[in-house]
A and B are shown apart, each in its own frame.
Chain A
Amino acid sequence: MLTVENLSVRYGHIHAVREASLTVEPGEIVAILGANGAGKSSLLKAIVGLEPAVDGTVSWREQRLDQLSAHQVAHTGVALVPEGRQVLPTMSVRDNLLLGGYKHHAGRLRDLLGPISWLMRDVGLQDRLDRVFRLFPRLEERQGQMAGSLSGGEQQMLATGRALMASPELLLLDEPSIGLAPNLVRDTMQLLVGLRQEGLTILLVEQDAHAALRIADRGYVMETGRVVADGTAKELLASPRMRRAYLGIA
């Protein structure tokens, strides 16, 4: 279980997140909703250790994450699909994926310094790659291509595939639908439902509240850094306040 308690994040004088608390139970899909600048991304970044929290705690399976740096958090089974994809544009699709699974090789000198062709014989690595290629056949076709030459939708697949290469138990996604055509948004959400069935726990930050609540079990709503509402997806969809502010329904 992921537990965030009274977490605050500050950039200089700007209070990006104020005393936010939330929980994600194993096997749940939880959505964090809110407008641009509500602090959703900052919250995710603080959970994975990319931004220091000035106050509050984050724990995942009885382990405190808030004192760890990002690469240490990766080793606890938490993976992030970052805002804006953040693929490595001048490296190949395959290299992006290999690096996504870096944590499996981090302590092994033979893996780190041996030729990549040796590494590719690693059974575990092949399994992980195959799994990603099964989810995203497009990535297999383009594995030799530079990641920067992919379309936005393909880069989103790559960013997701890269996170999955780490074999995470908790997957955090930051605005996976941004800039995608409606059919691709639907595919992305379907994919998350599939991943949850395989046992993944998912925390999803979204501006597209409709798309997110369709697949989420529960949701939290953020405004100017605070969590202002929470409930099951059904409750949030029905709440007049939500309908007015985020769903565009009067």
Chain B
Amino acid sequence: MPQYALSDYIQLLVSGVSIGSIYVLIALGFITIYNVTGVINLAQGEFVMLGAMLAVTLLGLGLPFIPAALVSVALVTCVGVITHRLTIQPARHAPEVSLIMITLGTAIAVRGLGLLFWGTIPYALPEFTPGAPLQIMGAVLSRQRIWIMGVALVVLIILYLFFEHTLLGKAVRACSINRGSAEVSGVDSSAMSHLSYGISAGMSAVAGIVIAPLTLVTYDMGLGLGLKGFIAAIMGGMVSAPAAVAGGLVLGVLESFTAGLLTSGIKDGVAFLALFVVLVGRTMNLSMRRRRS
């Protein structure tokens, strides 16, 4: 058993938190859509891929980085709204399982289109601010990881302000609590569903752009990231944003420590183990409660 210094743990913790921040953004996308429309959107990861890919493409067309990133996020937001309009809204009275199958189909279709457009080669997105890594308490930290955490924090704050301190945000929440009573007050609930898809696609695009410099961009990157975000959302109970934030961070840190202290080969296994434990725990909890009552 090798000996680890405190700085190693800090290193693992910070990388865990930074990758966890990505999971948080994706998980919040899942629960935003789920709360407002009742749909578990398995195409969430594809929005991540599209965000990164479009940013790469726009950079390649000669756009400077910031406009490229902003245009990419805006485009993916529109893709989210269009996806809802074309695939979910026409089928909104269908059973939940059918809706999930539709989102799965969308995911496969978008991935396929990604393959057609961009091929199988991985693309690179430059770091936002290239330079030597920073040293914090003996841990070595790439600048991009700081960007990831900073951007995630900013997105969280904007999201919080929107949902807690604007009338439109409250109207979206009202639709997630009681669609009928929101409608009777004049809230166009189908517009709010569109909006929730847009917000959540945009957030995922941001996640894709900030993580791209660390991972490379491929047409199928959305599959893995989407799954991790989904697991984080489930760990958080699928409804509460703070719980999803906790879920994402815990998942990131768990993975990072497993990879660092044991072996990186079982890193992904940890995510599924966590999912398994949460689901089994929840089922047992439910059946126990049922027995009691």
Contacts and interface: CB of A to CB of B under 8 A. Distances in A.
Interface of A: 48-50, 69-71, 73-75, 79-80, 82, 86-91, 95, 98-103, 105-106, 111-117, 119, 162-163, 165-166
Contact of A71 (B165, B173, B188): B188
Given A71-B183, A99-B182, A115-B161, 9 more contacts: A50-B183, A73-B184, A74-B184, A74-B185, A88-B181, A91-B173, A98-B167, A99-B170, A116-B167
Contacts of A112: 166-168, 171
B23 to A, nearest CB: 25
B242 to A, nearest CB: 13
Nearest to B173: A91
A106 B186 contact: yes
Which applies to chain B's interface (DSSP): helix, strand, loop or mixed?
Answer: helix
B127 to A, nearest CB: 33
A29 to B, nearest CB: 20
Give the size range of B's interface with the partner: 20 to 34
Nearest to B164: A116
Interface string B138-174: 0000000000000000000000010001111011011
Contacts of B166: 112-116
B174 A99 contact: yes
Nearest to A81: B184
B165 A166 contact: no
B185 A99 contact: yes
A95 B165 contact: no
Contacts of B184: 48, 50, 70-71, 73-74, 79-80, 82, 163
B183 A102 contact: no
A69 B179 CA distance: 12
B186 A86 contact: no
Contacts of A162: 185
Nearest to A49: B183
B180 A50 contact: yes
B32 to A, nearest CB: 16
A124 to B, nearest CB: 14
B178 interface: yes
B173 A102 contact: no
B108 interface: no
B178 A88 contact: yes
A93 to B, nearest CB: 13
A75 B186 contact: yes
A82 B180 contact: yes
10 residue pairs, one from A and one from B, having the closest CB atoms: A103-B186, A74-B186, A70-B183, A112-B168, A86-B181, A71-B188, A88-B177, A71-B183, A102-B185, A80-B184
